[in-house]
Chains A and B, each alone.
Chain A
């Protein structure tokens, strides 16, 4: 009987390790539940058509990039990628350029109607998007902007602006007043102070909120589905059309396309994790 002869030292050490074993088992279970589905689809994207339908599923195989090549070679993927980049980039830029001065004014100047504007912005972010989608679609149609990238950029800017104002305002409030005060005494104007002193200081905050706005625009399906057509569709719309097609869905290619859409997002998410967390409470990640 080994156990009885185990040295007391070892028993103490084992007992100390026990909670750790529990914690790590829990973490492993979590990672399995939350990451395995993504990994499995990544695996599918590296399989040939025959291998994807193997039963029981293959766990070891010679990976192939042919699905990615096939997806990138389809006529619709690269244009959709381009439109996704264009709309997301445009929306981020517009939200930041328009929203940052507003956030700064709200942080530093007291004026009438400030609270009203602030809460109205927050309310707008919280309303079910579909309530504005219908008239927004009609608005853009009547302006002759239907199916243009501009309409989508404007729509996504209305997602982003409340967030920019919310997050950047609290960011500006944390910058000490003294810096701006001394600049004021030196005769600098408000706009000059904002542009040359405050903005350079707020780069981290703008990074964080920029990434959140980017995610919002990149991940959206509903607005893109309504406000674009085949010529201007973004990646989520293209993917949805793949998956709702009844026949001839190639699992490998579908997975590869999906991975191409989420890869940038996942890389940014893990790399800019700390920045992201700052803005998460603003309800930013999901549309």
Chain B
């Protein structure tokens, strides 16, 4: 599984693919078929490129352009004119936005770190070849497949202060989602619950594809189980860990669905992640230009967050 992901990095370096060169027997085929054949790669790739450019690429560039335009409620969308970096300046001096930015970064790091550690632990447990393990593995996939809205809904009921099961279990009346200190943790916990299996399954696949000989050799040489894990297994898992780390960072950074349903960004902005902030700005206040600027700040921050683990992994590369 990680192989597909790794191809990403190794493909560019690989030699060009062997081309199945055709000896054309055009006399037997119609001209159209001949043209289609000669331009096979263009006709095959063009629809994908066109759809992605029109529906995704163009809007993306347009939002970049929008982020430099002004807008006021009294004027039409295009009445505002170009305002340079004014939108960005306003956002970055707006305490609520900066708070949301900081919250999102902390939230992403905390959630991804928890998911990685727990996922690794779960993966090593799922590695054991005991009867019924296959069943356990397929059951554990369930949370991550769940529609995030439904998962959020489940947890909203489970965390209900009055009738929720969690409070029944610990015998208290804690207000999990309505309390500014607890709400971010509750929301983070639900995300960790939903996505740890994903990390576990990714790492499990990587673990299972590792050759067993190095581990056995280390064991024979008298290494303890922890030493084997720390010095043999973990280094071999690095590529898979990096892939999981990046994917989770990208997706946790844009968390929206479940947080939106559980708290809507509240109470008092304590779970107001960037995606929720931007959503409210754009579709609540209909400030499209400011929303575009916010989403571009989000994009750049996300890229920076992703660059961090890549850099760390490069620097600590074992020789």
Contact = CB atoms under 8 A, between A and B. Distances in A.
Interface of A: 20, 23-24, 26-27, 30-31, 33-35, 37-38, 40-41, 44, 52-53, 55-57, 98-99, 101-102, 104-111, 115, 117-118, 120-122, 124, 126-136, 138-139, 154-155, 157-158, 161-162, 165-167, 170, 177, 180-181, 184-185, 187, 189-191, 194, 215, 218-219, 221-222, 226, 235-236, 239-240, 243-244, 251, 254-255, 258, 261-262, 265-266, 268-270, 273, 276-278, 280-283, 285-287
Contact of B41 (A57, A109, A165): A109
Tell me the dominant secondary structure on chain B's binding face: helix
A35 B144 CA distance: 11
A268 B195 CA distance: 18
Top 6 A-B pairs ranked by shortest CB distance? A135-B59, A101-B44, A105-B44, A190-B40, A131-B295, A102-B48
A187 B28 contact: yes
Contacts of B168: 55-57
B4 A134 contact: no
B36 interface: yes
Contacts of A278: 1, 4
A30 B122 contact: yes
Q: Is the interface of A mostly helix, strand, loop or mixed?
A: helix
Contacts of A35: 139-140, 142-143
A221 B153 CA distance: 13
A27 B33 CA distance: 58
B184 interface: no
A111 B39 CA distance: 10
Contacts of B17: 107-110
Contacts, number: 311
Interface residues of B, number: 109
In the complex, which of the residues B17, B48, B155, B162 has the most CB atoms of chain A within 10 Å of its own CB atom?
B48
Given A124-B52, A243-B261, A282 B149 contact: no
B298 A285 contact: no
Interface of B: 1-5, 7-8, 11-12, 16-20, 22-23, 25, 28-29, 33-34, 36-37, 40-45, 47-49, 51-52, 55-60, 62-63, 66, 77, 122, 125, 128, 130, 132-133, 136-150, 152-158, 162-163, 165, 168, 193, 195-198, 201-202, 205, 243, 247, 250-251, 253-254, 256-257, 260-261, 264, 275, 278-279, 282-283, 288, 291-292, 295-296, 298-299, 302, 306
